[in-house]
Amino acid sequence: MDTPELGLLEHRLLFVTGKGGVGKTSVSAALAMLAASRGKRVLVVQVDAEGGLPGVLESGPIAYDPIEVSPNLWAMSVDTEEALREYIRRQLRLPIITRLGPLARSFDFVANAAPGVKELLVIGKIMWEIREKSYDLVVVDSSASGHVVSQLSAPNAVNELVQVGRIREQTQWMIDLLADPVVTGAVIVTTPEEMPVTEAIELLDRLESETDVNVAAIVVNKVLPELFGRGEQEVFDALNSVEGRRAFAQVLGDDPAALLDGADLASRLRRSRGKHLERLRSGIPGDRPMIFLPQLFSASHGIRSTRELAEAFDDEIGEA
Ligand SMILES: Nc1ncnc2c1ncn2[C@@H]1O[C@H](COP(=O)(O)OP(=O)(O)O)[C@@H](O)[C@H]1O
Ligand SMILES: [Mg+2]
């Protein structure tokens, strides 16, 4: 699919995905915070009940009804059962049901038999927020790699099952919005490490072949700063030799081993990450925007880290 010349934050809907632990939740929160700081009305959505959004936003608990956690920034958490309850209330115009009981059981039966139904409810709720509320941008802290593909292809899957009627009408508009690269984008998060890179390349492939959603950007998170340029590396190598260490110790009046070992480790770690980064580059078509976010070294992983990542994003994506 052609990638339009469109800034990341100009989308209306971004699904942030990638391998577990790469920083999806942190990146979702940082993107949402950056967009809100630029004056957009932003909703950030947690799909996984265990998701760490309240932690990175320091927002207190979030629930099915969006709450404003800071100026211009709303947060919510979607779960299937509440989405089903709302769907029944709105679409089937049944009275509010507090406990789903037998209906939930028959729903489970249908949902397990027909792939995509559960995913459709979650996606449907998110799309409904986009359509009905005046958010400029909705950022979804999506499920990890495998599941997001079935989530994003759910409207198509259900649409194919149901040929006529209301459900078909209700899935078609979602399909149209999801497939529109001006509206919707997937953001694949990865880190310069072996498994995350492999998974990112596979995920890009699957998103392109199994869904209509355009991959808007690849975010490479936890990139280590470059410690030494080529010149410094030579100096370091000389210092780090047996004679170098001996001379260094004399000047220092102390054993420099711990210092040099530390620097050596950091430098080798960066080089090994560089190798994975190269593999990522060669596995991803050149026209995909790549955004690099630094490894943070702060002890806490709360709102301060999120702000730092938002600033790094700001530097990377400029005005767009
Ligand atoms: N750029 C970064 N630098 C350092 N630590 C990070 C960075 N991004 C995320 N983390 C940390 O990595 C861990 C996983 O991040 P998280 O956003 O929860 O990932 P995911 O949602 O993909 O599982 C958390 O402890 C988080 O604080
Ligand atoms: Mg997460």
Residue 163: is it exposed, middle or buried by C-beta count within 10 angstroms (0-12/13-18/19+)?
Answer: exposed
Is any atom of ligand 1 closer than 6 Å to the C-beta of 301? yes
Q: Is residue 245 part of a domain?
A: no
pLDDT in the model for residue 221: 97
Is the separation of the CB atoms in 174 and 127 below 8 Å?
yes
For ligand 1, atom 16, name the residue with the nearest CA. Answer: 23
How remote is the CA of residue 28 from the centroid of ligand 2, in Å?
A: 9
Q: Strands, DSSP E only, in the chain? A: 13-18, 42-46, 67-70, 73-77, 137-141, 184-190, 215-223, 290-294
Q: Interior CA angle at 196 toward 192 and 202, to 5°?
A: 120
pLDDT of 2 higher than 50: no
pLDDT digit string, tens, across residues 135-144: 999 999 987 7
Q: For residue 122, what are the domain limits?
A: 8-227+280-317
Is any atom of ligand 1 closer than 6 Å to the C-beta of 69? no
Closest ligand 1 atom, CA of 144?
22
* pLDDT higher at 298 or 109: 298
pLDDT digit string, tens, across residues 191-213: 999 999 999 999 999 999 999 99
pLDDT in the model for residue 33: 97
pLDDT in the model for residue 1: 44
Closest ligand 1 atom, CA of 297?
4
SS3 72: coil
Is any atom of ligand 1 closer than 6 Å to the C-beta of 296? yes
Q: Is residue 115 part of a domain?
A: yes
Q: How far apart are CA 316 and CA 312, in angstroms?
A: 6
pLDDT of 97 higher than 70: no
Is any atom of ligand 1 closer than 6 Å to the C-beta of 70? no
pLDDT digit string, tens, across residues 106-142: 555 555 655 567 777 788 888 888 888 789 999 999 8
Closest ligand 1 atom, CA of 294?
1
Q: Is residue 249 part of a domain?
A: no
Q: How many domains does the chain have?
A: 1
Closest ligand 1 atom, CA of 29?
17
Q: How far apart are CA 42 and CA 139, in angstroms?
A: 8
Q: How far apart are CA 300 and CA 56, in angstroms?
A: 10
In the block, tokens 């941008």 appear at 137
In whole angstroms, how far apart are CA 249 and each of 232, 254, 261, 298?
Answer: 19, 5, 14, 31
DSSP element (H, E) containing 28: helix 24-37
Nearest partner of 8 among 215, 231, 308, judged by Cα = 215
Nearest partner of 80 among 110, 58, 56, judged by Cα = 110
For ligand 1, atom 12, name the residue with the nearest CA. Answer: 23
Q: Which of 301, 303, 308, 313 to mutate to test the pocket of ligand 1 (most atoms within 8 A of CB)?
A: 301
If you average pLDDT over every residue of the chain, what do you get?
85
Q: Is residue 171 part of a domain?
A: yes
User: pTM, whole model, 2 decimals?
Assistant: 0.86
Q: How far apart are CA 176 and CA 76, in angstroms?
A: 24
Q: Which of 15, 26, 45, 147 to mutate to test the pocket of ligand 1 (most atoms within 8 A of CB)?
A: 26
Q: Is residue 256 part of a domain?
A: no
Report residue 136: phi and psi, to 5°: -80, -35
Q: Is residue 233 part of a domain?
A: no
pLDDT digit string, tens, across residues 258-271: 888 888 888 888 88
Q: Is residue 152 part of a domain?
A: yes
How remote is the CA of residue 151 from the centroid of ligand 2, in Å?
A: 16
Q: Is residue 181 part of a domain?
A: yes
Is the separation of the CB atoms in 139 and 101 below 8 Å?
no
Domain CATH number, residue 58: 3.40.50.300
* pLDDT higher at 212 or 48: 212
Residue 68 DSSP label: E
> Cβ atoms within 10 A of the Cβ of 23, count?
24
pLDDT in the model for residue 103: 58
Pairing mode of beta strands 73-77, 67-70: antiparallel
Residue 181 DSSP label: T
